[in-house]
A and B are shown apart, each in its own frame.
Chain A
């Protein structure tokens, strides 16, 4: 029985329990496998990841100090940037040559550090635009409403369910630009779910979210795992990482310096060094 068929926190953690805490370690059932991914801007090597696997059905955190290359790595994986070299497979398909929209169609959907709500469109339209394979999105078919009306109604149903779940149902006819920062985060996540993704990539989901909303956002992220989705997220907040992550990958200066369970990572000397600079204890003495 593979891990994605199980549910709950134990499944992913159990699957990862026997995995050694070392960078580039193989996982029992990886949904994403990256090898030799490098991105250089002129002389600056922003990302140079030898090997990384992400376990299917897990919540994996990608942490690291500012400038570690986390967001650049994210952009590469989701097709928003091109690597200098390197390959990766997503869900059994070679994905490093895909364009961003093809990545999304393949089932890997991302959100952004600076939330991208479509401000001058209604919350409902924000959701409906996320729906995949709507035939009315072809120009010629747009002219013939009978072709897409039924599909539109089904998408609307689905959007209403998601909005209900993310507590945005009362806002559905408002402009997305009228939402608060936290509500926009929720909308972005709900919108990503309209694509029925296999893997959700969250770039700093907690940035700029007030503490009250943080807890509900955490629950929503756990909910994604319970539905069998894989989550990879970039985060600074170690408390949050501790609370929800099954596995943590640490980047510093573009490289993957270690991996492990949250407990292993917070005890890891190299992680503290990466965040605070090497020998900070020595300096304190």
Chain B
């Protein structure tokens, strides 16, 4: 059994395009849920606004790429306003109900047959990402190598001996843009949560009536958090759509939202780097289990009578679920959370 391959694959994925999607979505959710205490159960829909906004604009209406980005962002802002205006004056759970329902409405509208000429129905859309990959600043077929890094026919290999990382040319471009976005939003979030503005958000999370009694317009703050978190969610959607070069409605199920939550809680909510660490660990473990089990079956370490390769997928999610339960029991604060803060007597 090829352990080196398993680890290399898992590590490759742990900083790869999909992980970046989870990291971005969770950064947005961290502002809403971690810092402000808003229960947004519709982050998948904000990602869908980004992904479908871009895909529809470019593939169906023939607009330029940047128009697609702008439309995706506007759609996310509009959705945040629509969901927030009726619910943010009410108790926290109303937002949870409305966002989870809205996310399903968005997905079902996208897969309905009525507009399938435009939206592609359940098959979704493709053919909107050429402009993005055309922006890649390096050529397609340069072959070079430098120390342990080599580029060969559009495939980058970083060979560290024990493990090696391999990315296609396109993945590499997605990663450059994705990591730039992650770092940018982390910087912005870092400034925001350490500012007086961020302090008001944390106050709202603790007790919004108290904050109201101190002369703060709580509704406006919650709306800002919902909108900005939704915008970051839309960027997760852009990266998701571009990294796969297609969008499909069923990628935006509530599961997608819950992965953002898993990532956030795994890393540590209300911690700046929680979402990034959580995303890396989550996607590392997922690939480690999946590749490990697949390799074990292929190498006959696990006989087919016990487990065959079609059962690997569900089993991996079972294991991750178990891991999540254990985490909540033994380390409820996540990787870098503050246990003391979590255990405080909230009277």
- Distance in angstroms between the alpha carbons of A119 and B338 in the assembled complex: 14
Contact at B197–A141, with CB atoms within 8 Å?
yes
Given known contacts A129-B214, A130-B214, A120 and B341 CB-to-CB distance under 8 angstroms: yes
Take A119-B347, A175-B341, A175-B344 as given contacts and tell me if A128 and B199 are in contact as well, using a CB distance cutoff of 8 Å.
Answer: yes
B residues near A177, Cβ cutoff 8 Å: 344-347
Whether B206 pairs with A195 at a CB distance below 8 angstroms is: no
Q: Does B212 contact A (CB under 8 A)?
A: yes
Q: B202 an interface residue at 8 Å Cβ cutoff?
A: yes
The 0/1 profile, CB within 8 Å of B marked 1, for residues 110-147 of chain A is 11100111111100010011101010111101110100
Is B224 close to A, CB under 8 A? yes
Nearest residue, chain B, Cβ from A116: B210
- Verify A178–B195 contact, CB threshold 8 A: no
- State whether B213 touches A110 (Cβ < 8 A): yes
A166 in the interface, Cβ–Cβ < 8 Å? no
Closest Cβ–Cβ distance, residue A147 to chain B (whole Å):
10
* In the complex, chain B residues whose CB is within 8 Å of the CB of A195: 214-215
Instruction: Check if B203 is an interface residue, CB within 8 A of chain A.
Output: yes
A121-B206 contact in complex given A148-B196, A177-B344, C-beta closer than 8 Å: yes
- Asked if B345 and A105 make an inter-chain contact with CB atoms under 8 angstroms apart, the answer reads no
Does residue A55 face the partner (Cβ distance < 8 Å to B)? no
B202's contact among A121, A136, A143, by CB below 8 Å, is which?
A121
- How long is the Cα–Cα vector from A178 to B341 in the complex, in angstroms? 10
Q: How many residues of A contact B (CB 8 A)?
A: 43
Asked if A104 and B347 sit within 8 Å, CB to CB, the answer is no
Other-chain contact of B192, A101, A139, A192 (Cβ < 8 Å): A139
Least Cβ–Cβ distance between B252 and chain A, in angstroms = 28
**Within the complex, which residue of B195, B205, B217, B224 is in contact with A143, where a contact is CB–CB below 8 Å?**
B195
> Which residues in window 208-238 of B have CB below 8 A to A?
209-218, 224, 228
A150 CB, min distance to chain B CBs, angstroms:
12
Give Cα A101–Cα B209 distance, bound, in whole angstroms.
Answer: 10
Query: Residue A70 at the B interface, CB < 8 A?
Result: no
Q: Specify which chain B residues have a CB less than 8 angstroms from the CB of A130 in the assembled complex.
A: 214
A80, A101, A121, A136: the one contacting B197 at CB < 8 Å is: A136
**Whole-angstrom distance between the Cβ of B11 and the nearest chain A Cβ:** 34
Query: In chain A, what residue has the closest Cβ to B341?
Result: A120
Known contacts A119-B347, A129-B200, A178-B344; is A145 also within 8 Å of B210 by CB?
A: no
Contact for A112 among B191, B192, B209, B216, CB less than 8 A: B209
Interface presence of B124 (CB below 8 A): no
B267 within 8 A of A: no
B207 close to chain A: CB less than 8 A:
yes
Contacts of A109 in B (CB 8 A): 213-215
Which of A110, A139, A192 is in CB contact (< 8 Å) with B224? A139
Q: Of B191, B212, B340, which is in contact with the most chain A CB atoms at under 10 Å from its CB? A: B212
A71 interface hit (Cβ, 8 Å): no
In this assembly, does A39 line the interface, its C-beta being within 8 Å of a C-beta of chain B?
no
In whole angstroms, what is the CA distance A137 to B192 when docked? 10
Contact B196 A101 (CB under 8 A): no
CB contacts (< 8 Å) of B341 on chain A: these are 120, 175
In the complex, the answer to whether B209 meets A136 with C-beta atoms within 8 Å is no
Of all chain B residues, the one with the shortest Cβ separation from A184 is B347
Q: Does B134 contact A (CB under 8 A)?
A: no
Instruction: Determine the residue in chain B with the shortest Cβ distance to A110.
Output: B213
A136 contacts B196, C-beta separation under 8 Å: yes
CA distance A57 to B214 in the complex (A): 21
The answer on a CB contact under 8 Å between A136 and B195 is yes
- CB of B301 closer than 8 Å to a CB of A: no
B198 within 8 A of A: yes
- Minimal beta-carbon separation of B61 from chain A (angstroms): 32
**Which of A121, A134, A142, A181 has its CB near the most chain B CB atoms (within 10 A)?**
A142
Closest CB-CB distance, B248 to chain A, in whole Å? 34
* Inter-chain contact A134/B202, CB cutoff 8 Å: no
Chain B residue at smallest Cβ distance from A191: B214
B188 within 8 A of partner (CB)? yes
Specify which chain B residues have a CB less than 8 angstroms from the CB of A128 in the assembled complex. Answer: 196, 199
A137 x B212 contact (CB < 8 A): no
Interface residues in B311-347 (C-beta closer than 8 Å to A): 340-341, 344-347
Residue with the highest number of chain B CB atoms closer than 10 Å, among A100, A109, A129, A191:
A129
Which of chain A's residues has its CB closest to B340's CB? A175
- Which residue numbers of B lie inside 8 Å of A, CB to CB? 188, 191-192, 195-200, 202-203, 205-207, 209-218, 224, 228, 340-341, 344-347
Top 10 closest A-B pairs, CB basis?
A: A142-B195, A142-B197, A104-B215, A177-B344, A136-B196, A116-B210, A118-B206, A105-B215, A137-B196, A100-B212
13 additional contacts, CB 8 Å, given A116-B213, A195-B214?
Answer: A80-B209, A109-B215, A118-B202, A118-B203, A118-B206, A134-B196, A137-B216, A139-B192, A142-B197, A175-B340, A175-B341, A192-B213, A192-B214
